[in-house]
Amino acid sequence: MIINVSEAKTQLSKLIDMAYHGEKIIIAKNNLPLVELIAYKPKTKRKLGLLKGRIHIPDNFLDEDEEINALFYGDV
């Protein structure tokens, strides 16, 4: 639905309710679309520990590898 600014001012509550229920509302000025009215969707909080017990990090994960060091730093 495309509606001009002057009409949107008088019908704002109705337009908000329509957008909340999934209708696409575009507000225009002089028949030029300017903005779209959409329902707010809050971002969910991050949940820590979702992969706990699903991945395995080896004990030597932080150990240096001489071959990789040689590739980065050359033979020292």
Closest CA to 30 of 7, 11, 14, 13: 7
Q: How far is CA 49 from CA 38, 46, 52, 53, in A?
A: 33, 10, 5, 9
| Strand spans (E) along the chain | 2-4, 25-29, 32-37
d(CA 23, CA 39): 9
The pLDDT-based confidence of 74 (bands split at 50, 70, 90) is confident
pLDDT, tens digit, 9 for 90 and up, residues 37-60: 999 988 888 888 888 889 988 999
